[in-house]
Amino acid sequence: MTKGTGTRAAALSLAFVWFTTHFGGGFSSGRQLVDFYVSYGWYAIFTPFIALTVMAFVYYFAWKGSVVHRAFDYHSWGKKFYGRYSAVFGTANSIMYNLILLTATSVAFATGGSVLKELFGSPYVLNTIIIAGLILLLTIFGAEVVRRAATVMAVLIIGGMVAVYATNLVVNFPLLKQVILQAPSPKGAGGAVWKAITYAGFQVCLIGAFVSVADVLKTKQDVFRASLYGFIVNAVILWLATAGALTHYPAINNEVVPIIYIARHSVGEGAAGGIVSGLILLAVISTGVSCVYGGAKRIVVALQERLGDKATAKGARATHIMSSLVYVAVTWGIALFGLLPLISKGYGTLGVLAIPLIIIPVLVKGFSETEPKVIPATEVVTK
């Protein structure tokens, strides 16, 4: 493999981590698509691109800061990226990440448990326990395993999404045209745009998950590629899914798990149902792995800094496993509260808070710096 091919592969692996983290329980179930886009009518044709543009710029500056400062856990990144303002924004970022970790992983459990129960009749609690075990297993073996798992799952998810949503869109395209020709939702264009920005808001709370696996990025070009690839993959799939769900507007608005409704109104209902169950499992596992790994890595780094020369690889691994176990156990417990309250209240609140606490500070700092300061020994981002 040439150097150029290797760096492109590294950038693509980060793009897939972004996608598989983005494609979590709420996305895969279709509930987020309805809450943040489809419920606003035909504005949903455009608003996903607003959200993805904001997310792409935030992740670009976050990854670049991570590479510049060689900071690959969210606490270290926040201190170095925000500098003298880290006491405010770095602390806010850490709090927001842990809140979204708890919320997103809980939603992953709730979604997986609900969907598997509806599809197969298996007990909800048993479903969530199985999912918890899979997340824990993939979390404890390091960043490389997280990236490889994300790549494999991304390919499977993209294939499944295209099979379900593209088929649905083709079959029901006349319905989409009818929706577009109708008057938009009475919520208005302003509400639709605001909802898209808040969607970007709760997504960028996951910066900690992305910087924790960014150590494969070496240059500014790598960072740009990762951001560009990530934007393309996420924008295409998010738009395809949103447009597919929009063909069933407004009937789909009150569905608890909209993707099952879509599958039942597509060609090959039986096959679509099987694909849906697979997508849900991949989605909840992929998001849970990224979130839990980022949180556990922060705890490991903090302990190593505290122990100094006394820190050992064996101790770090034990800490990582125990931290992951605690995160999984806590979020599993939260999931017992159910799916819809977690998505509508948890994500909505975090999305609004993230605008002044994460999006604006990162964009202001990112756009205001003409050339970042680099570590003299490497100057990796200026190549």
Residue 286 belongs to a domain with what CATH number?
1.20.1740.10
pLDDT of 336 higher than 80: no
Question: Does 376 reside within a domain?
Answer: no
Q: Select, from the ranges 2-16, 109-123, 233-247, the one with the highest average predicted confidence (pLDDT).
A: 233-247
Q: Select, from the ranges 25-39, 104-118, 213-227, the one with the highest average predicted confidence (pLDDT).
A: 213-227
| Contact (CB, 8 A) for 46 and 298 | no
Reported confidence tier of residue 345, pLDDT bands at 50, 70, 90: low
Burial tier of 115 (Cβ tally within 10 Å: 0-12, 13-18, 19+): buried
pLDDT of 365 higher than 90: yes
Give pLDDT, residue 381. Answer: 46
Burial tier of 352 (Cβ tally within 10 Å: 0-12, 13-18, 19+): middle
Question: Does 1 reside within a domain?
Answer: no
Question: Does 379 reside within a domain?
Answer: no
Instruction: Count the neighbouring beta carbons within 10 Å of the beta carbon of residue 9.
Output: 13
Question: Does 28 reside within a domain?
Answer: yes
Q: Count H helices, E strands: the chain?
A: 19, 0
**Domain of residue 209, residue span:** 9-370
Alpha carbons 261 and 335: distance in angstroms, whole number = 23
Could you identify the residue written with the tokens 């990112």? 366
The DSSP code sequence of 177-204 is HHHHHSPPPTTHHHHHHHHHHHHHHHHH
Question: Does 381 reside within a domain?
Answer: no
For the entire predicted model, the pTM comes to 0.83
Alpha carbons 283 and 106: distance in angstroms, whole number = 13
Helix %, strand %, coil % of the chain (to 5): 85, 0, 15
Length of the chain: 383
Question: Does 70 reside within a domain?
Answer: yes
User: Residue 213 to residues 116, 231, 291: CA-CA distances in angstroms?
Assistant: 30, 18, 11
Residues 6+ apart with CB under 8 A from 242: 33, 37, 38, 44, 45, 48
Question: Does 383 reside within a domain?
Answer: no
Give me the number of domains the chain comprises: 1
Residue 128 phi, psi dihedral angles, 5° rounding: -70, -30
Exposure on the CB side of residue 45, measured as CA atoms within 13 A: 12
What is the mean pLDDT of the segment spanning 176-196?
85
Question: Does 4 reside within a domain?
Answer: no
> What's the alpha-carbon Rg for the chain, to the nearest Å?
20
For residue 48, say if its preceding peptide bond is cis, omega within 30 degrees of 0.
no
Reported confidence tier of residue 377, pLDDT bands at 50, 70, 90: very low
Per-residue pLDDT tens for 79-116? 999 989 999 999 998 888 888 888 878 877 877 777 77
